[in-house]
Amino acid sequence: MSPKNRILQYSLAINEALHQTMSRDKRVFLIGQGVKSPWYVGNTAKGLLEKYGTERVIDTPVSENGITGAAVGAAIAGMRPVVVHPRMDFMLYALDPIINEAANWYYMTGGKSTVPLVVWGIINRGGEQAAQHSQAIHGIFAHIPGLKVVMPSTPYDAKGLMAAAIQDENPVVFIDDRWLYQSEGHVPTELYTVPIGKGVIRKKGTDITIVAISYMAAESLKAAQELEQAGISAEVLDLRSAKPLDQELIIRSVSKTKRLVVADVGWKTGGLSAEVAALVAEKLGTDLKKPLQRVALPDIPAPSSKTLEAVYYPRSKEIVKAVKKIFQ
């Protein structure tokens, strides 16, 4: 296969971004729990320890608050740390260094000091793991001024957004999803970046816009295919960044289709889907032909039991249903 259309797994795309940025920038190092254990981080850290050693690939004690704070400090002191939390739930101990310190630092120092840090949180849900091992909390970070939040849905974006996040002068929260790790797609062999804050139209359509992110972007594509058979032409907009939001792209697409479904991997209330809905209401007022629909997690903690899990996580089926409701 020519390198031009090489196919790579999502998790290995992240791995490649780390390899390539670490090899060209000595300031970059990876720190966090499980960086030497595939059980924690899949194959995203494959070969890094062997190549860069324990100086730059640092597995840590169970100390999310302190370790993340240390990563913030190292960033302020001129390094470019990537601190990983193998489950976003564990990252809640690190909210203080991320929000109080990293996010505010540039502002609080009057622009004298930046925090070029990547906080990498993995959404790792399902499998009856219940409330403390399943949460998608990007909405919290998207709420915070000073943070950027990226959530790739394809291997191409996973590599490009990781590279962009590392190169950014600001703290970037990079959020991936274990449910995407096996997915495959075209990934260039050379290092490239995907712009933070820019969405992408994954599929053009004329009747309705589906704005989605992360795993739900992948599900939206499936939904759009099914809708095509039902004679509905859906445009799928993958946000890629939860912050900054690609407002222009959203408004352009929804102005055209005048119908909207927002599909998010997080909870409904006060989250990303609410933000997109508010933006559209603000900019387009009553231009929509029908009220928009949101597909999100119900405002409920993640259950353990499989019968509850089955109805808890929305997938393409729920997106199709939401679209059809608009066309009823």
Q: Which is nearer to another protein, 61 or 285 (CB)?
A: 61
Torsion angle of C-alpha atoms 151, 156, 160, 163, degrees rounded to 10: 90
- For position 59 contacting ligand TPP by CB under 6 A, the verdict is no
Tell me whether strands 184-186 and 7-9 are parallel, antiparallel or unpaired. Answer: antiparallel
Q: x/- site string to ligand TPP, residues 32 to 51, per CB under 6 A?
A: -x------------------
Closest CA to 136 of 317, 302, 318: 302
Minimum distance, C-beta of residue 128 to another protein, in the bound complex (Å): 4
- For position 93 contacting ligand TPP by CB under 6 A, the verdict is yes
Q: Which is nearer to another protein, 128 or 248 (CB)?
A: 128
Q: Which is nearer to another protein, 38 or 244 (CB)?
A: 38
Residue 69 dihedral angles phi and psi, to the nearest 5°: -60, -40
Q: Which is nearer to another protein, 247 or 304 (CB)?
A: 304
CA distances from 98 to 69, 91, 125, 162, 272 (A): 8, 9, 22, 18, 19
- For position 62 contacting ligand TPP by CB under 6 A, the verdict is yes
Which residues form the catalytic set?
Answer: 64, 133
**And the tokens for 275?**
């933000």
**CA gap 179, 176 in Å, rounded:** 9
Residue of 64, 157, 177, 264 interacting with ligand TPP (CB under 6 A): 64
- For position 98 contacting ligand TPP by CB under 6 A, the verdict is no
**CA gap 122, 174 in Å, rounded:** 8
Q: Which residue has the tokens 């000073």?
A: 146
Residue numbers of the site for another protein (CB under 8 A)? 34, 36-40, 59-66, 89-90, 92-93, 127-133, 298-301, 303-308, 310-312
Closest CA to 295 of 326, 316, 319: 319
The DSSP secondary-structure symbol of 181 reads T
**CA gap 289, 303 in Å, rounded:** 36
* Residue 304 burial (10 A CB sphere; 0-12, 13-18, 19+): middle
- For position 77 contacting ligand TPP by CB under 6 A, the verdict is no
Minimum distance, C-beta of residue 38 to ligand TPP, in the bound complex (Å): 15
Minimum distance, C-beta of residue 119 to ligand TPP, in the bound complex (Å): 15
Minimum distance, C-beta of residue 91 to ligand TPP, in the bound complex (Å): 9
Q: Which is nearer to ligand TPP, 132 or 305 (CB)?
A: 132
**CA gap 107, 96 in Å, rounded:** 16
Q: Which does 327 bind (CB under 5 to 8 A by kind): ligand TPP, another protein, none?
A: none
Minimum distance, C-beta of residue 41 to ligand TPP, in the bound complex (Å): 12
Q: Which is nearer to ligand TPP, 89 or 207 (CB)?
A: 89
Minimum distance, C-beta of residue 63 to another protein, in the bound complex (Å): 4
Q: Which does 130 bind (CB under 5 to 8 A by kind): another protein, ligand TPP, none?
A: another protein
Q: Which does 258 bind (CB under 5 to 8 A by kind): another protein, ligand TPP, none?
A: none
Tell me whether strands 260-267 and 208-212 are parallel, antiparallel or unpaired. Answer: parallel
**CA gap 178, 249 in Å, rounded:** 27
Task: Please work out, in degrees rounded to the nearest 5, the angle formed at the alpha carbon of residue 166 by the alpha carbons of 192 and 270.
Answer: 105
Binding site residues, ligand TPP, CB under 6 A: 33, 62, 64, 90, 93
